[in-house]
Amino acid sequence: MKDISAVSHLSKDIFDLNVISKESQQIKVRVERKKFKKFAIIISGFNSESDAKDIEKYLKKKLACGGTTKNKTVEIQSNKKDKVKELLILKGYQKELIDA
């Protein structure tokens, strides 16, 4: 027997609150110039710190760069704004709600 959600009384495979929350988040992506002519991508608009931390780990791995998470905001050491948007879409965020 499959796991049943206490909230919806549906199978957890069908009803996943994490997917629903990703589909409704307004994400903002911008490039910022840092010290010594370096660039950083700032990604904000996450509902929780854990969502931001998961995205930080995922983007650092996929882009092979450094980064950090502070106050539900992810900072990635890169200048690949378009690639970040593509990766966020692959992760389940809505294309129309990503302001890049």
- How confident is the model over 27-81, as pLDDT tens digits? 999 999 988 989 999 999 988 898 899 999 999 999 999 999 999 999 999 899 9
In the chain, % helix, strand, coil (3-state, to 5) comes to: 40, 25, 35
Q: Name 31's bridge partners.
A: 41
Strands (E) located in the chain: 27-33, 39-44, 67-70, 73-76, 98-99
Give the pTM: 0.75
Confidence of residue 16 (pLDDT cuts 50, 70, 90): low
Regarding the domain with residue range 26-99, which homologous superfamily does it belong to in the CATH classification?
Answer: SUI1-like domain (3.30.780.10)
